[in-house]
Amino acid sequence: MKKVALITGGTRGIGLGIAKALADIGYDLMLCGMRHEQSARDCLEQLRVSGSNVVYQQADVANHEDRQRLVDSTKNQFGHLNLLVNNAGIGPKVRADILDATEQSFDEVMTTNLRGPYFLTQSVAKWMIQQRQADAQFWACIVNISSISAEVASVNRGEYCVSKAGVAMATKLWAARLGEFGISVYEVRPGIVRTDMTAAVTEKYDQLLSSGITVQARWGTAEDVGLAVAALARAAFPYSSGSVFMVDGGLSVRRL
């Protein structure tokens, strides 16, 4: 029986890079995103070339009803779930100084980036526990995609940094709670990755990279993140639940 992964935000950017990497190692995929399925058709067909069964559902992880429909659809389509990848996330619509940022922007980012994956994990974890109790050999894990912004302060997008710091703590919490059931939880923390989210600040990051902000002087790619998640999906780190896996080109390395 093929393993199944549910990836939120899995049809563009980092999420698509993860989906490609998991399809390459034989996973079937349940993907969700905000856009209509027709708009995602091309990338869905590309993923199916590898032989994976790929199902897409339009869903907003910030919405309780959408999250429940997503879990129910996964049950109906596949009957089991081995891997949840909490990837969907947004940045603030306006990169405002924290002296000027609005409560509306804060609430919007926190609801999508933190509350959504937190409670999606709750729903999925209960199902994974049931699967483990029915079959002691059943393997499952959860991967949260956070950001270097969980620890690096950007004062013009404070709500994003706070949301990702929350994801980092949520990873520890779920790892601690699910350990007794043999379900590992990991955090993958990307650095400067070329996606549509960073497209508007390409010049800024080009300058930072050229000035040596990272050890490896290049942009990260969605494929880089996908390879990290695929390693976790192969159970390559069975004794590392709660760990943070950096995919940041050495940005977090302190240097003199």
Active-site choice (27, 56, 160, 186): 160
Report yes or no: 188 and 228 within 8 Å, Cβ to Cβ: yes
Q: Is 186 a catalytic site residue?
A: no
Report yes or no: 147 and 220 within 8 Å, Cβ to Cβ: no
Distance CA 158, CA 154 (A): 6
CA 151 from centroid of its chain's CA atoms: 17
Residues 6+ apart with CB under 8 A from 232: 141, 143, 184, 186, 188, 245
Distance CA 142, CA 148 (A): 19
Report yes or no: 195 and 201 within 8 Å, Cβ to Cβ: no
Report yes or no: 213 and 8 within 8 Å, Cβ to Cβ: no
User: What backbone torsions phi and psi does residue 41 show, to the nearest 5 degrees?
Assistant: -55, -45
Among residues 83, 88, 69, the alpha carbon closest in space to that of 16 is found at: 88
Report yes or no: 132 and 140 within 8 Å, Cβ to Cβ: yes
- Which segments of 115-243 are extended strands (E)? 141-145, 184-190
Among residues 131, 27, 119, 20, the alpha carbon closest in space to that of 79 is found at: 131
Residues marked active site are found at 160
